[in-house]
């Protein structure tokens, strides 16, 4: 009979399996390094920086003028690479009379299951020849 009583007194911590207490330390993403405006020549490489903290480690996505930026993660042939830090690296800036795929206003968005954080806007402008 006594065993039944004792089970009730163990309290909530007894039900948490070892190792799962880390869950309580999870926190939503926050941007710790924002991208800066850049002016770059056509054909040159450049980087838009973005660093985020969070637990679990947030995934980073970039948006240009409100649309998601395709990187080498989507297409291995892309000239835009998503670096492990979260920064966006351009192998070379593509800029033509008709097509200006790289020029615009960028933000990075960091997400985990607790939420998302959006960086400040950074503009990428292509210098005149």
In whole angstroms, give the CA distance from residue 62 to residue 89.
11
Say which CATH number the domain at 35 has. 2.60.40.10
In a domain, 2, yes or no: no
Q: Give the residue numbers spanning the domain of 52.
A: 27-126
**Model pLDDT for residues 71-106, shown as the tens digit of each residue:** 999 999 999 999 999 999 999 999 998 999 999 999
Q: What is the four-CA torsion angle of 111, 115, 120, 122, rounded to 10 degrees?
A: 20
Residue given tokens 């400040």 in the structure block: 120
Q: Where does the pLDDT of residue 128 fall: very low under 50, low under 70, confident under 90, or very high at 90 and above?
A: confident
In a domain, 10, yes or no: no
**Model pLDDT for residues 29-43, shown as the tens digit of each residue:** 999 999 999 999 999
In a domain, 106, yes or no: yes
In a domain, 81, yes or no: yes
- Tell me the pTM: 0.79
What is residue 6's predicted lDDT score, i.e. its pLDDT?
45
- Token pair listed for 84: 């492990």
């Amino acid at each position: 009979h006594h065993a039944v009583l004792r089970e009730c007194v163990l309290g909530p911590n007894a039900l948490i399996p070892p190792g799962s207490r880390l869950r309580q330390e999870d926190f939503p993403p926050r941007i710790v390094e924002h991208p800066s405006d850049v002016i770059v020549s056509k054909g040159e490489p450049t980087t838009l920086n973005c660093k985020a903290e969070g637990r679990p480690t947030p995934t980073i996505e970039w948006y240009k003028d409100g649309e998601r930026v395709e990187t080498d993660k989507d297409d291995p042939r892309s000239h835009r690479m998503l670096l492990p830090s979260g920064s966006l690296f351009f192998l070379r800036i593509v800029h033509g009379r008709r097509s200006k795929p790289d020029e615009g206003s960028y933000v990075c968005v960091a997400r985990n299951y607790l939420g998302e954080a959006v960086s400040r806007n950074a503009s990428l402008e292509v210098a005149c020849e």
